Amino acid sequence: MRKIFLGFIVYALAELALIIVIGQNIGVLNTLLLIVATSIIGVYVAKNKGMNSVQKVKNTIARGEAPGPALINALLNFSGGVLLALPGFLTDVIGLLLLMPFSRKLFQPIVFYWIRKKMKNGQFIIVQK
């Protein structure tokens, strides 16, 4: 629990320092406009890419294929949009990395590993109807 709390503190301080540095370089108003613009783009991306990803998952299931890769892509697309919507530049960079196809492939094995680990420990259960 302490590691998580410490992680949030370090993240918040890094985000604040980055906003201050960017604000000094491009101006306060431009920095605020950039934060608002990325938030609007993030909401748009989360909504549209999220719906497209859900449709791809449905199509994959309808074809009788395992939806694993499609679900991971949907998760990463939605997470990228949400991170873009959050104010801050570190979250924007991570969100953009999750949305770009070439860098998303780097995150897919990490997510698969995390899900397998949770399933092995009984913390992640898949229910089939």
pTM: 0.80
Burial of 76: CB neighbours in 10 Å, binned 0-12, 13-18, 19+: buried
Q: Which residues of the chain have pLDDT under 50?
A: none
Residues 19, 30 contacting (CB under 8 angstroms): no
What percentage of the chain has pLDDT greater than the value 90? 41
Domain ranges of the chain: 2-120
